[in-house]
Amino acid sequence: MSAITLPRQDTYLNINYGIRSWLLTTDHKRIAILYLVSITLMFVIGGAAATMMRIELFTPASDLVDAATYNKLFTMHGIVMIFFFLVPSIPAILGNFILPLMLGARDLAFPRINLLSWYIYMLGAGVTLWALIAGGVDTGWTFYTPYSTASPTHVVAATVGVFIAGFSSILTGLNFIVTTHKLRAPGMTWFRLPLFVWSLYATSLILVLATPVLAITLVLVAVERLFHVGIFDPALGGDPLLYQHLFWFYSHPAVYIMVLPAMGVVSEIIPTFAHKGLFGYKVVAISSIAIAVLGFLVWGHHMFVSGMSLHAALMFSAFSYLVAIPSAIKVFNWTSSLYKGSISYDTPMLYALGFIGLFTIGGLTGLYLAALGVNVHVTDTYFIVAHFHYIMVGGSVMGYFGGLHYWWPKMTGRMYPEKWGRAAAIIIFIGFNATFFPQFILGFEGMPRRYAAYPPEFQFLNMLSSLGAVLLGIGYILPALYLIPSLWFGKQAGPNPWDATGLEWKTSSPPPANNFEKIPVVTTGPYHYPGKQDKVG
């Protein structure tokens, strides 16, 4: 097989060459590719740590690695996956590439700040990786005090790395907000915005409002460690619950930073592959904002057994049920969007449907955790591990892979082999469930999380989970094996291979450096497909 050469056409990829042209680029599309490469690397590192953990947990005793190493592995897995993969993945890669195209803009509002965000991300990742390699951190990604004040491992370096990366998030969020306000093409009103834009906008609000709190909290931990000022450590007169409040004030909204963009991706994929507008467009758009706002009021549901007051627990439980409603609404609308559609099952659609199923299970199990009396039993067990992996891996990672396959032809100008794409999607779906479903049962039976060794009666389910992880790992490796070769051998995608409606499909693939020959004028809603107008209810 020889590489298929395309007729010469000016694209963002061939406008100039060389390492400098990439490292000094201000083109949002190239910056997205920089992020793609670096975030993928982080995903591999975080995944390697998870693999080690699952191998260790195959047997009850901590025999492959000792407890200290195991603790460092789950800490590394959590820090890398959350702060350096899940939070930035969809916004910084797909959002960066697609947002200006969807708006009909030539770039983000602040292209240089966009490049700066990437450098900050790299610096944060570098510092954190240094901490992890130099001996590791064993506090868990949550850095709970007083242990994080006392732990002899590289806590300060790791928190500094996460702190730095936070600024990358804040700048990206600001950039997206301003871009969405200022750079919409003529005729692109708010209710003509694609839902991916709505969800990125909601995500950006959280990034800008919540990340500073995390930054301050981590600074306080570092100050306490370095100067022995009592803030969180009761031995120094501090309050460890204050740390938990501050930490979750960021980290619960961070769940929505991770999942809202994936919801946005799904809201793009479903109309494209059902050839129809999304059911309840406005409701879905508004529910993104509702999630962003309500998400700030529920952080205490992580602390129901921490010794918080009964009244606080009541409030946080009630608000947690409220924030579930907009998510439920989205699920119902996505499902209804299939009604009377013309549905095809290309790879992105498989990921989107998988997302709906897994996110539904993740969301429903959230109702168990919000129920105070049940929370007491299942919190801090594998039930909660399973729950948030259904949201973050079943949800966010499925959304990310769906989006990556959906916009790959736009980003690269090439198609990947569809059969391999579908096979990988199905393997990931099965592998995911095999890995994480047994963990719900383990949790209900009482196996605590963050245990390097466990009683033998939990072994069977742990073995199932570890075997599932093998399948899941294969599923994650496959896309690398066909996506990378598709850069040379894939068939030409053309501007609009999926017959989709967004502005990003109105320009060539890959797009020219300035995105559009002529800025488009928008006259319709985002999912304007032919077909008879029908009303329900």
Q: Which residue ranges make up the site for Cu ion (CB under 5 A)?
A: 252
Please choose which of Cu ion, other proteins, none residue 146 contacts, taking the beta carbon within 5 to 8 angstroms, the exact cut-off set by kind: other proteins
Residue located via tokens 């809201």 = 267
Which lies closer to other proteins via its Cβ, residue 122 or residue 308?
Answer: 308
Which lies closer to other proteins via its Cβ, residue 328 or residue 470?
Answer: 328
Q: How far is the CB of 456 from Cu ion (least distance, A)?
A: 21
Count of other CB atoms within 10 angstroms of residue 89? 28
**Chain center to CA of 279:** 24
Two tokens at 65? Answer: 């690695």
Asked if 56 is part of the footprint of other proteins (rule: CB under 8 A), the reply reads no
Q: Binding marks (x or -) toward other proteins, 198..237, rule CB under 8 A?
A: ------------------------------------xx--
Burial of 441 (0-12, 13-18, 19+ CB in 10 A): middle
Are 181 and 141 a contacting pair, CB within 8 Å? no
Q: How far is the CB of 454 from other proteins (least distance, A)?
A: 7
In 3D space, the residue among 434, 427, 444, 352 whose CA is nearest the CA of residue 389 turns out to be 434
Could you give the CA distance from residue 431 to residue 470 in angstroms, rounded to a whole number? 7
Which lies closer to other proteins via its Cβ, residue 26 or residue 69?
Answer: 69
Contacts to other proteins from residues 332-371, by CB under 8 A: 332-333, 335-336, 338-345, 353, 356-357, 360-361, 364-365, 367-368, 370-371
Q: Contacting other proteins (CB under 8 A), which of 41, 156, 174, 372?
A: 372
Which lies closer to other proteins via its Cβ, residue 489 or residue 529?
Answer: 529
Please choose which of Cu ion, other proteins, none residue 252 contacts, taking the beta carbon within 5 to 8 angstroms, the exact cut-off set by kind: Cu ion
Count of other CB atoms within 10 angstroms of residue 166? 25
Contacts to other proteins from residues 254-293, by CB under 8 A: 274-277, 279-283
Q: Contacting other proteins (CB under 8 A), which of 186, 187, 448, 494?
A: 448
Which lies closer to Cu ion via its Cβ, residue 184 or residue 301?
Answer: 301
Q: How far is the CB of 402 from other proteins (least distance, A)?
A: 15
Q: Binding marks (x or -) toward other proteins, 112..151, rule CB under 8 A?
A: --------------------------xxx---x-xx--xx
Which lies closer to Cu ion via its Cβ, residue 252 or residue 389?
Answer: 252
Are 155 and 127 a contacting pair, CB within 8 Å? no
Alpha-carbon distances, residue 220 vs 159, 236, 300 (angstroms): 10, 13, 20
Cis peptide before 146 (omega within 30 of 0): yes
Angle at 127 between CA 121 and CA 132, to 5 degrees: 120
In 3D space, the residue among 147, 146, 143 whose CA is nearest the CA of residue 232 turns out to be 146
Q: Contacting other proteins (CB under 8 A), which of 25, 38, 71, 462?
A: 71
